[in-house]
Amino acid sequence: MPKIISIILLALALFTATFAVNLQTPLYGVYAAGNNMKATAVTVAFAAYVAGLMPTLLLLGGLSDRIGRRLPITISLFLVTIATLLLVLFPNWESLFVARVLLGIGTGLVTTAGTAYMVEIMGNDDARRAALIVTSSTSLGFGGGALATSLSLGIQGPTLIPISFIVLFVIAPILAIIGLKMPRVDVPKRVSIIKLPVFPPRTWVFGIAMALAWSTTGMIIAVVPLELKTQDLDGWTGLVIFLAIFIGFLCQPIARRMANPKALALGLLLTPLGFLVLLIGFWIQSITLILLGTSITSAASYGFTYLSALFEFSSRALDNRARATAGLFIYAYIGFSLPVIASGALADMFGLLPAMAIFSVTQIIITLITIWLWKKHSVL
């Protein structure tokens, strides 16, 4: 199989697996309505994704080193298909919880194996461009799913089987089967299937920055739609989630030309700034500021922070790329889940806007402490 075809197929597999992750987001309200669920329950179901993903990253980060890169990617594509089908057959909160767990397992498999596979296909000398292709594919996937479902609902009207779901049901199994025919370029290693992630030296600040950035993305995907609904702006949900990731994709070529520390510093500054602008937008009920704030956080999360952190982790662990990628995503998904669950609980006690304000203040404080520690260690 020609090298360019392998790269395209792998990029499509990464896109499709991550496309499924937020595909159901515009229907959260429908799934929760039948069970009279509050904000905490919705955010817990959202974060169930991490309950599937974290054990996969923690225990199976080296799986693809043992069995090859192709099989984990194929398994991932079948898992996300099954998860989405479950929501069609049983559209309720319990199914959403189980589906999110399956989506988490699928994401853990595809991101660790896919990142290592892309670098191996393209070669070590092209590792930075390989990281760009991986981040671009997954960024478009994470953002495109929610937008595709919103557009489908706009065209079809209320339905539990939007066109976006059908597209996934067709494409994912085909890619899963084709993926098994891709060339094996990795060298099999006699290692335990259960291998802990690797945290390369001097990468802690990139990890914390990812946690901060993705906590903002988690808030925008899980909590912001609830506030949009209370302000009768829920028609904007798909666009908001899409912008939360797509703008970052547009910024990745810029980030690629920057040194990793500079890209990271810019990401650290833009993350809390963007969420603060978004919060002000909700406070004065300005959809323009909401979209602007979302775009700023996107540039930070999926642009400057994501690309610099992924390249830093993978380049500092040449013999353990899959496990190093798992280490990075441990940081990312702790940020992606725990603040969201906490904000859901705070929202049930104090309201959505106060909960978002508490999150914003906490985020600013942690960012300032991180920058101070980073500068201190840089001097040393």
Residue 380: which pLDDT band, with cuts at 50, 70 and 90?
very low
Domain end call among 178, 194, 210: 194
Domain count, the chain: 2
pLDDT at 60 over 80: no
Range of the domain at 286: 196-379
**pLDDT computed for residue 216 by the predictor:** 94
Q: Are residues 251 and 371 in the same domain?
A: yes
Same domain, 111 and 162: yes
How far, in Å, CA of 312 to CA of 207, rounded? 10
- Please give the residue that has the higher pLDDT: either 60 or 225: 225
Distance, in Å, from the CA atom of 151 to the CA atom of 58, rounded to the nearest integer, reads 36
Query: Which of 118, 1, 143, 19 lies closest to 77, judged by CA?
Result: 19
CATH number at residue 362: 1.20.1250.20
Structure confidence by residue, pLDDT tens digits, 11-47: 999 999 999 998 998 887 778 776 666 777 778 877 7
Residue 190 above 70 pLDDT?
A: no
Same domain, yes or no, for 142 and 245? no
Give me the chain's average pLDDT, please: 87
Least trusted range by pLDDT, from 40-49, 189-198, 245-254, 327-336 = 189-198
Are 274 and 169 in the same domain? no
Same domain, 5 and 39: yes
Say if residue 89's pLDDT is above 60. Answer: yes
* Residue that is last in its domain, among 145, 163, 194: 194
Q: Which of 152, 175, 194 is the last residue of a domain?
A: 194
Each residue's pLDDT tens digit, 195-223: 677 888 888 899 999 999 999 998 998 88
- Please check whether residues 295 and 346 belong to one and the same domain: yes
Let me know whether 222 and 344 are in one domain. yes
Considering 20-29, 134-143, 361-370, the range whose residues carry the highest mean pLDDT is 361-370
Could you tell me the sign of the dihedral formed by the alpha carbons of 162, 168, 173, 174, in that order? positive
Q: Are residues 57 and 172 in the same domain?
A: yes
Each residue's pLDDT tens digit, 94-119:
899 999 999 999 998 998 888 888 98
For residue 37, the model assigns a pLDDT of: 65
Q: Give all strands (DSSP E) within the chain, no chain letters.
A: none
Alpha carbon separation from 194 to 4, 66, 197, 205, 323 (Å, rounded): 32, 10, 10, 27, 11
**Interior/surface letters 358-379, b for 16+ CB within 10 angstroms, e for the rest:** bbbeebbebbeebeeebeeeee
306 and 200 in a common domain: yes
Question: pTM for the whole thing?
Answer: 0.80
More confident residue, 367 or 195: 367
CA neighbor of 337 nearest in space, from 150, 16, 145, 100: 100
163 in the same domain as 19: yes
For 349, the token pair is: 């006690």
Residues 139, 66 within the same domain: yes
Mean pLDDT along residues 366-374: 93
Both 109 and 201 in one domain: the answer is no
